[in-house]
């Protein structure tokens, strides 16, 4: 497949239309979903004739068209899709999130078809988009994920919310990695490679790596536990002494153990009720609290079963505060 592609938009393009209080639906409308394209929006006009190469450490390399991919067993999942935030400001909290229904062919189905060699450890995914970001010439957008992750509902998706992908969402083909930040779900997918080592591109080496306490770094793969309050919305005016129901969404790569609410800026916390959704969707939480005169805001925090807790600040999943006024 040629390395040259035409573009609908050249260079960085983003659209972030939904604030937390607007995310009232379990499945987010396509027009309300986040859009972030580092290098531009590729014109995938070839549609069903778009070709995907599968190679590297495989026994039977293949080139498949989207038309052929659509003839394979169709798999559908609903999953949280969250932007990891700008790689130029990795500590800045981000609440650019939506919950989407995807359909396509499972990655592990294709890997069984081509046969994976024993030395393979990582899946490289190559997008058609290329160009400059952050003042650096990036080449094509390339990401990777552990081969062990392939069995966890990873899709080569050609549908979003029951319709074909839009250009800005990766038409005609994209990777979807449930439970991983959106930067790993490569759009305009053109090549899958199996390798023994991690991919060498700037989006895996220079950017999207978080520092660890011991001085090492960790790839921005798994979504950290996070929550947002949908209702009441910011700057709501509540009556002192009244009982108010608070609700919102919580999510993360690993199962959530709890979501808690604070109405005194984190001095005390109360447990919320969780309404778990199947698969990789976000979880609804609900909590009732009595409004006091001293209350100026509401905070929510999620905790995973492994014990990881939303931090107060300094991370992309930092606690979200909703300011309110008490009458």
Position of tokens 């400001």? Answer: 89
Distance (Å, whole) CA 238 – CA 242: 8
Fold of 7-219: Sulfite Oxidase; Chain A, domain 2 (3.90.420)
Query: b or e along 292-322 (b: 16 or more beta carbons within 10 Å of the residue's beta carbon)?
Result: eeebebbbbbbbbeeebbbeeeebbbbbbbb
Tell me the pLDDT of the chain averaged across its residues: 93
Q: pLDDT band at 18, cuts 50/70/90?
A: confident
Q: pLDDT band at 92, cuts 50/70/90?
A: confident
Q: pLDDT band at 182, cuts 50/70/90?
A: very high
Which sign does the torsion angle of CA 88, 94, 96, 98 carry?
A: positive
pLDDT for position 312: 92
- Report percent pLDDT > 70 for the chain: 98
pLDDT for position 94: 80
Q: What average pLDDT score do residues 11-33 get?
A: 92
Distance (Å, whole) CA 155 – CA 187: 12
Q: What average pLDDT score do residues 43-55 get?
A: 84
- What is the CATH code for 226-326? 2.60.40.650
**Across the strands, what pairs with 175?**
156
- Which is higher by pLDDT, 17 or 210? 210
pLDDT for position 56: 98
Q: With 60 as the cut, is the pLDDT of residue 54 above it? A: yes
pLDDT digits (tens, 9 = 90+) for 164-174: 999 999 999 99
Q: pLDDT band at 3, cuts 50/70/90?
A: low
pLDDT digits (tens, 9 = 90+) for 260-309: 999 999 999 999 999 988 789 999 999 999 898 889 999 999 999 989 99
Least confident of 47-51, 113-117, 280-284: 47-51
pLDDT for position 297: 94
Q: With 80 as the cut, is the pLDDT of residue 131 above it? A: yes
Distance (Å, whole) CA 302 – CA 191: 36
Which sign does the torsion angle of CA 196, 201, 202, 203 carry?
A: negative
pLDDT for position 139: 92
Q: What average pLDDT score do residues 222-246 get?
A: 94
Report in angstroms the alpha-carbon separations of 38 from 6, 113, 193, 306.
Answer: 16, 32, 21, 33
Q: pLDDT band at 48, cuts 50/70/90?
A: low
Q: With 70 as the cut, is the pLDDT of residue 133 above it? A: yes
How do the residues of the chain divide into helix, strand and coil, expressed in percent and rounded to 5? 10, 45, 45
Q: What are the residue ranges spanned by the domains of the chain?
A: 7-219, 226-326
Q: With 80 as the cut, is the pLDDT of residue 46 above it? A: no
Task: Please tell me the pTM assigned to this model.
Answer: 0.94
pLDDT for position 108: 97
Radius of gyration of the chain, Cα coordinates, nearest whole angstrom: 21
Q: With 50 as the cut, is the pLDDT of residue 196 above it? A: yes
Q: With 60 as the cut, is the pLDDT of residue 2 above it? A: no
């Amino acid at each position: 497949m040629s390395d040259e592609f035409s573009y609908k938009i050249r260079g960085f393009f983003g659209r972030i239309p939904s604030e937390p209080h607007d995310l009232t639906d379990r499945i987010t409308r396509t027009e309300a979903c986040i859009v972030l394209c580092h290098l531009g929006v590729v014109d995938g006009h070839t549609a069903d004739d778009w070709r995907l190469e599968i190679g590297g450490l495989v026994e039977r390399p293949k080139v498949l068209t989207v038309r052929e991919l659509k003839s394979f067993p169709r798999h559908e999942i609903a999953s949280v899709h969250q932007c990891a935030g700008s790689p130029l400001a990795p500590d800045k909290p981000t609440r650019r999130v939506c919950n989407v229904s995807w359909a396509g062919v499972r990655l592990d189905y294709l890997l069984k078809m081509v046969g994976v060699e024993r030395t393979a450890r990582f899946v490289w995914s190559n997008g058609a988009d290329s160009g400059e970001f952050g003042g650096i010439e990036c080449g094509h957008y390339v990401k990777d994920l552990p081969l062990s992750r392939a069995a966890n509902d990873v899709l080569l998706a050609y549908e979003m919310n029951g319709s074909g992908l839009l250009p800005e969402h990766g038409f005609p083909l994209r990777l979807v990695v449930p439970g991983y930040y959106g930067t790993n779900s490569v759009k305009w997918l053109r090549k899958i490679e199996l390798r023994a080592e991690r991919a060498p591109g700037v989006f895996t080496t220079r950017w999207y790596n978080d520092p660890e306490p011991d001085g090492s770094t960790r790839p921005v793969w798994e979504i950290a536990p996070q929550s947002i309050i949908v209702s009441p919305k910011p700057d709501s005016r509540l009556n002192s002494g009244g009982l108010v129901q608070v609700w919102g969404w919580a999510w993360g790569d690993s199962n959530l153990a709890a979501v808690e609410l604070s109405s005194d800026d984190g001095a005390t916390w109360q447990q919320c009720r969780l309404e778990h959704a199947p698969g990789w969707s976000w979880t609804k939480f609900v909590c009732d609290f009595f409004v006091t005169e001293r209350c100026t805001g509401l905070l929510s925090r999620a905790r995973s079963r492994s014990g990881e807790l939303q931090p107060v600040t300094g991370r992309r999943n930092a606690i979200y505060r909703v300011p309110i006024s008490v009458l």
